[in-house]
C-alpha cells in the first residue's frame, strides 16, 4: 500500500510542475489576443504568487483539520479548475478573467506544495524527497512542451491550457480514489525512512524524528505565524529557504542576460545555455536520491553549497572563451539540486513532527517571497550599476544561506542518521 501511495505522490509532483512554466511559454501569443502590454504577465504571476503565499501560511491549520490527502485533492482540483478557466478566457478576450482564475491557481499550488512536502518529509526517506522534486522538474519541463505542441500544431494556447487541465482533472480523480491509502499510511511507520534520525530539543532531550504528530495523546493545535517565529532555530531555516529560492530564481532569470551583456556570449547561444541550469537541477536531484543513501541531509546541503560556490567561481574566472561560464552555470544547478529537498526533509528531525507542517508552510511562503523579491532587486542593480555583479550577488545570498544553516545546526543540534546498508 505504501508503494502505491508513493506512486500517486510521484504523479502529484509531476502534476505540480506541469503548469509552472506554461504562462511564460504562451504569453507571447496571449498578450496580443487580450490586447494588453507584454508586461502584464507580471501581474498574473504576482497574483499566483500571492495566492501560494496565503495558502502555504494556512497549510498547518487546514492540514490539521482535513488531513494531507484531502488538502492535496482540493488543491489539485482548484488548480485544474483554474487552468480550465484560463483556457475558456480566450472566448471573451478579457484580461480580468485571467487575473480572476489566477487566484484559485495560486491557492491550489501553495496548498499542495506545503502539504505534500511535509507529508513526504514525515513518512518517507530523504531519497524519495529528492526524486519527487526531480519529478517536479520533469513536470515543469513537460508543461512548456505541451503548450509548444498546441501552438505549433495550430490548436491555440487555450488548447494547451485545456490539455493540462484535463491531466490535472485525471490526477484529482486518482487522488480521490487514493484517500484510503493516505489514512492507512498515516497510521503506519515507514519502513524506508531513516529511523534513528535525532535532534537536540529545547530541553536537550534527544527526539526520534519518526515520531508522528498523530500518536500524541493530546490533539495538536495549529501554530500561528508568531508561534513559528518564536521556535528556536525557525528563523534560521526560514531565511535559508528565502535565500535558496532567491538564488535559484535570480540565476534562472538573469543568467542569459549576464552571459550576453557581461561575458559577450551570443544571445541565441546564451538562451540555450541558460536552460542547462534547470537541467542541472533536475539531473542533480535524480543523483541526490542515490547520494542520500550514503549521506545525511545536513551533509547533502553542505555538498550542494560547496558546488554552488565552485560554479560561481568558474563563472568569475577571466578565462578566454565561454566554456567556464557554461560549466559554472551547470555546476550551480547541480549544487542547487539537493538543498531544497534536503532542507524540507530535515525539518521534522530538527523541530518535531508536531511542528513540521506549520514550519514547512512558512518555508514555502518564504520561498515564494524570495522568488518574488530577489530577481527584481538584482534587475535594479544591473540597470543602475552593472550586470557584471551577477556572480557576486549570488555569493552574498549563498553566504547568508550557509550562515543560517550552520546557526540552525548549532541551535537545534546535529542531525545524525544510520545509513542503510
> What is the model's pLDDT at position 164?
93
Q: Which residues, other chains included, contact 285 with Cβ-Cβ below 8 Å and sequence gap of 6+?
A: 130, 131, 133, 134, 137, 337, 338, 341
Average pLDDT score over residue span 225-233: 89
In the numeric block, the cell 498515516 is attached to 186
Together in a domain, 103 and 25: yes
Final residue in a domain of this structure, among 184, 217, 249: 184
* Distance spanning both ends of the chain, measured CA to CA: 24
Total domains, the chain: 2
> What is the model's pLDDT at position 165?
94
Of 194, 123, 20, 200, nearest to 357 by C-alpha is 123
pLDDT tens profile 65-96: 888 889 989 999 999 999 999 999 877 778 99
Q: Residue 122 belongs to a domain with what CATH number?
A: 1.20.1250.20
Together in a domain, 230 and 174: no
Together in a domain, 25 and 150: yes
pLDDT band at 186 (very low <50, low <70, confident <90, very high): low
Q: What CA–CA distances, in Å, run from 228 to 206, 264, 356?
A: 21, 46, 10
Together in a domain, 142 and 234: no
Mean predicted lDDT score pLDDT of the chain: 82
Q: Would you say residue 107 lies in a domain? A: yes
375 alpha carbon, distance to own chain's centre: 16
1 CB-side CA count, 13 A: 14
Does 168 have pLDDT greater than 80? yes
Average pLDDT score over residue span 383-412: 93
Average pLDDT score over residue span 215-225: 64
> What is the model's pLDDT at position 211?
38
Q: Which residues of 263-298 are buried (b: 16+ CB within 10 A; e: fewer)?
A: bebeeeebeebbebbbebbbbbbbebbebbeebbbb
Element (H, E) at 418: none
Of 250, 238, 43, 10, nearest to 137 by C-alpha is 10
pLDDT tens profile 18-59: 887 788 778 878 888 888 887 788 788 888 888 988 988 888
Together in a domain, 141 and 233: no
DSSP string, 17-57: HTTTTHHHHHHHHHHHHHT--GGGHHHHHHHHHHHHHHHHH
Element (H, E) at 201: none
Range of the domain at 157: 2-184
16 CB-side CA count, 13 A: 27
Q: Would you say residue 22 lies in a domain? A: yes
Q: Would you say residue 393 lies in a domain? A: yes
> What is the model's pLDDT at position 185?
56
Final residue in a domain of this structure, among 184, 213, 238: 184
Together in a domain, 229 and 175: no
> What is the model's pLDDT at position 214?
40
Together in a domain, 400 and 261: yes
> What is the model's pLDDT at position 414?
60
Other beta carbons within 10 angstroms of residue 215's beta carbon come to: 10
CB 198 within 8 A of CB 208: yes
pLDDT tens profile 278-335: 888 889 999 999 999 899 999 999 999 999 999 999 988 877 657 888 889 899 999 9
pLDDT band at 1 (very low <50, low <70, confident <90, very high): low
Other beta carbons within 10 angstroms of residue 309's beta carbon come to: 18
> What is the model's pLDDT at position 220?
67
DSSP string, 88-115: HGGGTT-HHHHHHHHHHHHHHHHHHHHH
Q: Would you say residue 202 lies in a domain? A: no
> What is the model's pLDDT at position 190?
45
Average pLDDT score over residue span 114-131: 85
Together in a domain, 229 and 319: yes
Q: Which residues, other chains included, contact 24 with Cβ-Cβ below 8 Å and sequence gap of 6+?
A: 41, 144
Final residue in a domain of this structure, among 158, 184, 210: 184
The dihedrals phi and psi of 178, each to the nearest 5 degrees, come to: -90, 0
Q: Which of 249-253, 266-270, 276-280, 359-363 has the highest mean pLDDT?
A: 359-363
Together in a domain, 322 and 269: yes
C-alpha cell at 62: 487546514
Together in a domain, 261 and 174: no
% residues pLDDT > 70 (the chain): 88
R_g of the chain, CA atoms, integer Å: 21
* Residue 161 to residue 146: CA distance in whole angstroms: 9
Q: Kindly report each contact of residues 168-174 with a partner whose C-beta sits within 8 Å and lies 24 or more positions away, as own/partner.
A: 168/15, 168/18, 168/19, 168/76, 168/77, 168/79, 168/80, 168/83, 169/77, 169/80, 169/84, 171/11, 171/12, 171/15, 171/76, 171/80, 172/73, 172/76, 172/77, 172/80, 174/8, 174/11
> Which one-letter DSSP state was computed for residue 208?
E
For 415, the 3-state DSSP assignment is coil
C-alpha cell at 257: 542576460
The dihedrals phi and psi of 198, each to the nearest 5 degrees, come to: -135, 160
Other beta carbons within 10 angstroms of residue 126's beta carbon come to: 30
Does 213 have pLDDT greater than 70? no
Q: Would you say residue 215 lies in a domain? A: no
Does 198 have pLDDT greater than 50? no
* Residue 108 to residue 7: CA distance in whole angstroms: 21
Does 209 have pLDDT greater than 50? no
pLDDT band at 219 (very low <50, low <70, confident <90, very high): low
Together in a domain, 238 and 165: no
Together in a domain, 71 and 145: yes
Amino acid at each position: 500500500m505504501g508503494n502505491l501511495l508513493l506512486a500517486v505522490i510521484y504523479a502529484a509532483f509531476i502534476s505540480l510542475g506541469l503548469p509552472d512554466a506554461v504562462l511564460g511559454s504562451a504569453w507571447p501569443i496571449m498578450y496580443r489576443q487580450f490586447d494588453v502590454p507584454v508586461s502584464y504577465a507580471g501581474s498574473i504571476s504576482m497574483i499566483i504568487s500571492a495566492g501560494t503565499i496565503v495558502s502555504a501560511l494556512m497549510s498547518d491549520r487546514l492540514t490539521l483539520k482535513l488531513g494531507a490527502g484531502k488538502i492535496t485533492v482540493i488543491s489539485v482540483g482548484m488548480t485544474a479548475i483554474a487552468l480550465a478557466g484560463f483556457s475558456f478566457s480566450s472566448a471573451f478576450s478579457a484580461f480580468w478573467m485571467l487575473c480572476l482564475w489566477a487566484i484559485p491557481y495560486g491557492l491550489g499550488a501553495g496548498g499542495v506544495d506545503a502539504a505534500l512536502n511535509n507529508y513526504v518529509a514525515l513518512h518517507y526517506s530523504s531519497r524519495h524527497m529528492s526524486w519527487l522534486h526531480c519529478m517536479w522538474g520533469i513536470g515543469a519541463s513537460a508543461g512548456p512542451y505541451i503548450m509548444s505542441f498546441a501552438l505549433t500544431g495550430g490548436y491555440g494556447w487555450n488548447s494547451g491550457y485545456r490539455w493540462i487541465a484535463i491531466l490535472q482533472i485525471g490526477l484529482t480523480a486518482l487522488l480521490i480514489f487514493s484517500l484510503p491509502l493516505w489514512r492507512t499510511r498515516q497510521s503506519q511507520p515507514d519502513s524506508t525512512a531513516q529511523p534513528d534520525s535525532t535532534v537536540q530539543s529545547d530541553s536537550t532531550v534527544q527526539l526520534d524524528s519518526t515520531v508522528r504528530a498523530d500518536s500524541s495523546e493530546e490533539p495538536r493545535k495549529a501554530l500561528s505565524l508568531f508561534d513559528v517565529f518564536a521556535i528556536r532555530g525557525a528563523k534560521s531555516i526560514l531565511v535559508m529557504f528565502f535565500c535558496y529560492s532567491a538564488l535559484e530564481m535570480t540565476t534562472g532569470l538573469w543568467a542569459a542576460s549576464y552571459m550576453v551583456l557581461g561575458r559577450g556570449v551570443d544571445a541565441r547561444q546564451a538562451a540555450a545555455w541558460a536552460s542547462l541550469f534547470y537541467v542541472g537541477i533536475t539531473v542533480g536531484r535524480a543523483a541526490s536520491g542515490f547520494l542520500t543513501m550514503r549521506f545525511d541531509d545536513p551533509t547533502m546541503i553542505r555538498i550542494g553549497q560547496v558546488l554552488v560556490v565552485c560554479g560561481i567561481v568558474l563563472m568569475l574566472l577571466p578565462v578566454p572563451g565561454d566554456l567556464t561560464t557554461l560549466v559554472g552555470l551547470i555546476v550551480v544547478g547541480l549544487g542547487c539540486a539537493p538543498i531544497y529537498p534536503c532542507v524540507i526533509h530535515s525539518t521534522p528531525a530538527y523541530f518535531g513532527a508536531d511542528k513540521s507542517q506549520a514550519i514547512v508552510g512558512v518555508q514555502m511562503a518564504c520561498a515564494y517571497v524570495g522568488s518574488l523579491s530577489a530577481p527584481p532587486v538584482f534587475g535594479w542593480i544591473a540597470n543602475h550599476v552593472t550586470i557584471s555583479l551577477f556572480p557576486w550577488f549570488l555569493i552574498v545570498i549563498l553566504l547568508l544561506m550557509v550562515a543560517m544553516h550552520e546557526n540552525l545546526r548549532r541551535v537545534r543540534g546535529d542531525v545524525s542518521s544510520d545509513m542503510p546498508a
